[in-house]
Structure formats: structure tokens, C-alpha cells
Amino acid sequence: MKRRDLVKTAGLGSIALAAGGVASPAVAQSQPAITWRLQSSYPTSLDTIYGACTVLSKAVAEASDNRFRIQVFAAGEIVPPLAIVDGVQNGTVEMGQTGSYFYVGKDPAFAFGTGIPFGPNTRQLNAWLYQGGGNDLLNEFYATYKLYHLPSGGTGTQMGGWFRKEIKSSADLRGLKMRIGGLAGNVLQRLGLVPTQIAPGDIYPSLERGVLDAAEFVGPFDDERLGLVKIAPYYYYPGFWEGAASLSFFINLEKWNELPAAYKSLLRTAAMAASTDMTAKYDVLNPPALRRLVQGGAQLKSFPQDLLQEAYRASSVLYGELSAQSPAFKKLLDHQTAFRDAVYPWWQISDYTYDTLMIQAMRGKW
């Protein structure tokens, strides 16, 4: 081709671009058009958790030039809030967001997708999931339920919940009816508590009617939204059953396997972005929310030492029993415990020491 012909051709290309706009990327054009439905266990009002769904959906649509679209639905819009796993398994929805530990009735191993009492903290759990082999191990288990799993985001260490009366010792738990998720109910039941698991939207009316004596949910920002301080003013910490709490994106395994490799990579990356975004939101929103709650009448209390010690011992006994019942639980417990125990010595001289130093400095202790 002669130089003047090349210039003419380039000029025609410029005119075409000016007339029709910038063309979609060739990579995006080569991929199939897919639309999925994603339902959360949570209402839109809990935008910290539910928001991870919209972050994921937006990222996937933009990166695929809208060829891969994920429509987001709030709790109860397609399947019941605590039936996400069933809805994803049977293909009612291609994808769901929920707390994995809501489904420990199917197998106690479901607890590890969220967190177990006295487990790792938030950063340690993320390290285990993303770099320590944890999510690969979880997906071995979830595959038996026709599910594929991606972490959806972490809340940080949660609060211990709202109580109508003050808890001065472990004996004060006896006979109390409490909304509590995951294996924590099994642990505290051994201390005399009566646990129940209900959807977030039912917590306030159940406390108001006296069906419950106590309830735990997440932490200051989300708890403030639920208005629990109006009914149960004693606000306890720490939520030792959720030293870290990770939410889950569950995907129908058949649908996951059908995706092109590019879409799988996109979903993994978008889910990680949504996860990071959720934890950052909580770290920004919880401190001022806690101040507002205290100003509104919340009485901050730490759990009594005897309660914490008895709960720790009860957890160890429970884990032995569950390991004997569920090979998947034992495999995940052994793996996560070994990881936690290996990283805590470093944590003790790094983050823990630094955080303690800064707290003392801020309080004018030195």
C-alpha cells in the first residue's frame, strides 16, 4: 500500500469513529450475552451488606460492556431470606448472597464460610480464604451441595448483642431467649441460653413483643438501623463468636462451570472488590454510629470473664463432637485452626502491640 493510500484509509477510519462513536472492545464483543439474578438475604436498608451485591453487579456490567448483567434482588423478593442456598442449588436464582452459617443445619461445615466462635480475626480470615487455601477447601465442600463460593465481604469483629437486662455472670444467661446466628447458639446453649435464628427484619418486632430477651446482629452501624437500643439497652462486646464474619456469594455450580473463563475471572475480581469495599465501609461507619448509640442510651458492657472462659471451653467440646459427626467440619476446622495458631505469634508482636501502643498514647497513658 502506498503512503497516500494509507493516509486516505486512516482518514476514513477517523470519520467512521467520529460518526459512530468508539467501538466496544473486541474482547467484550466476542463474549456471550448473559443475564443472571442475584438475591441477598438482606434488605436494601442494610446497604453495607446488601451494597456488596450492587458493587459486584456494577463492576461486572461495566467491565463486560453490559454483556454480563447481574440483576440484584433484596431479601424475600424471589426466595425466602434464609433459603438462599436452596434457591441457588435448584436454579431458582443463579446466584445468592447470604451468611453461610445460616445453613449449619445442613452440615456444621457451613459455619466456616462466615466464621466460628473463637476463630481468626478479620485480616487473618481473609488471609486464610484468599492465600491460605481456605476458599479452595470450602469449595471442595460446597461442591457437594452444587454450589461455588466467593467471599462477599467482612464486617470486622462484631458486637455481642443487645440485652434487656445486665449480664453479670454466665449464670445470667440461663433461660434467656436470644436471636443468634451460626454455631454461637450451640455454644451458648450449653451455658443455659435458648438460641433462635430469625431473619434480620424480624429481630425488632420479636424483641418488642417479648418473644426474645436479647439479640445480636452485626455492629453499631447496622444495629443502629434496626433500632434495638430502644428495647434492649445493654450492649455487649466482644462478639467472640464472630471475631471475623465473612458474607458469601453462592453461585449455582452448573452455571459457574458454563461461564467463559473471562467471566469467571471477572466475577472473582469483582467479588474481591466488593469484599474490600464492605470492610472499609464498616471501619468508617461503625465508630460514629457507636457514639450515637451511647448518646441515645446504649450502655456499653464487656462480657464477664467467667462467661468468656466457659464459652471457650464449651466451643472446644462442641468442635470435638461436630468433628466426629462431619468429616467436612473436621477437615476445615483442622486446617483453619492450624493457620490461626501459626499466624497469631506474629500478630502478637505486630498489630496487637502497635494497636495497644496507640490506644495508650491516645488515652494519655504515657
Dihedral sign, CA of 216, 162, 202, 192? positive
Parallel/antiparallel/unpaired status of strands 95-98 and 34-40: parallel
Distance separating alpha carbons of residues 261 and 31, to the nearest angstrom:
10
Contact 201, 81 (CB under 8 A): yes
149: helix, strand or coil: strand
Q: Do residue 320 and residue 238 come from a single domain?
A: yes
Number of structural domains, the chain?
Answer: 2
Name the grid cell of 208. Answer: 418488642
Q: Do residue 144 and residue 275 come from a single domain?
A: yes
Return the pLDDT at 30. Answer: 82
Closest CA to 52 of 39, 34, 68: 39
**What average pLDDT does the segment 114-125 reach?**
96
Domain with residue 239: its CATH number is 3.40.190.10
Q: Do residue 71 and residue 119 come from a single domain?
A: yes
Q: What is the DSSP string of 99-132?
A: -GGGGTTT-GGGGGGT--TT---HHHHHHHHHTS
Q: Do residue 188 and residue 323 come from a single domain?
A: yes
What type of residue is 43? P
At 162, give phi and psi (nearest 5°). Answer: -110, 130
Q: Do residue 88 and residue 218 come from a single domain?
A: no
Q: What is the pLDDT of residues 51-63, one digit of tens each?
A: 999 999 999 999 9
Q: What is the pTM of this model?
A: 0.89
Domain with residue 132: its CATH number is 3.40.190.170
**What average pLDDT does the segment 325-342 reach?**
97
Helices marked H in 172-228: 184-189, 203-208, 220-226
Q: Do residue 201 and residue 124 come from a single domain?
A: no
Q: Is the pLDDT of residue 7 over 50?
A: no
Residue 196 forms part of a structural domain: yes
Residue 277 forms part of a structural domain: yes
Residue 350 forms part of a structural domain: no
Q: Do residue 135 and residue 197 come from a single domain?
A: no
Residue 355 forms part of a structural domain: no
Sequence-distant (6+) residues with CB within 8 A of 71 are: 35, 36, 37, 38, 57
Residue 89 forms part of a structural domain: yes
What's the order of all strands across the beta sheet hosting 147-154?
68-73, 34-40, 95-98, 246-252, 147-154
**H or E, element range at 200:** none
**What average pLDDT does the segment 235-249 reach?**
96
Q: Do residue 213 and residue 131 come from a single domain?
A: no
**What average pLDDT does the segment 318-344 reach?**
97
Instruction: Give CA separation, 257 vs 148, 199, 251, in Å.
Output: 9, 31, 10
Q: Is the pLDDT of residue 240 over 50?
A: yes
Q: Do residue 198 and residue 304 come from a single domain?
A: yes
Residue 15 forms part of a structural domain: no
Q: Do residue 205 and residue 131 come from a single domain?
A: no
Return the pLDDT at 14. Answer: 41
Residue 82 forms part of a structural domain: yes
List the domain range (segments joined by +) for residue 252: 31-153+244-284
339: helix, strand or coil: helix
Residue 261 forms part of a structural domain: yes
Contact 51, 281 (CB under 8 A): yes
Closest CA to 39 of 112, 91, 108: 91
Distance separating alpha carbons of residues 125 and 134, to the nearest angstrom:
9
**Other CB atoms within 10 Å distance of the CB of residue 120:** 25
Q: Do residue 218 and residue 338 come from a single domain?
A: yes
Q: Do residue 191 and residue 139 come from a single domain?
A: no
DSSP state letter for 360: H
Q: What is the pLDDT of residues 178-229, one digit of tens each?
A: 999 889 999 999 999 999 988 777 888 999 999 999 999 999 999 998 899 9
Parallel/antiparallel/unpaired status of strands 177-179 and 246-252: unpaired
Q: What percent of the chain has pLDDT over 90?
A: 86
HSE-CB at 250 with a 13 A cutoff on CA atoms is 35
CA 310 vs. chain centroid, Å, equals: 27
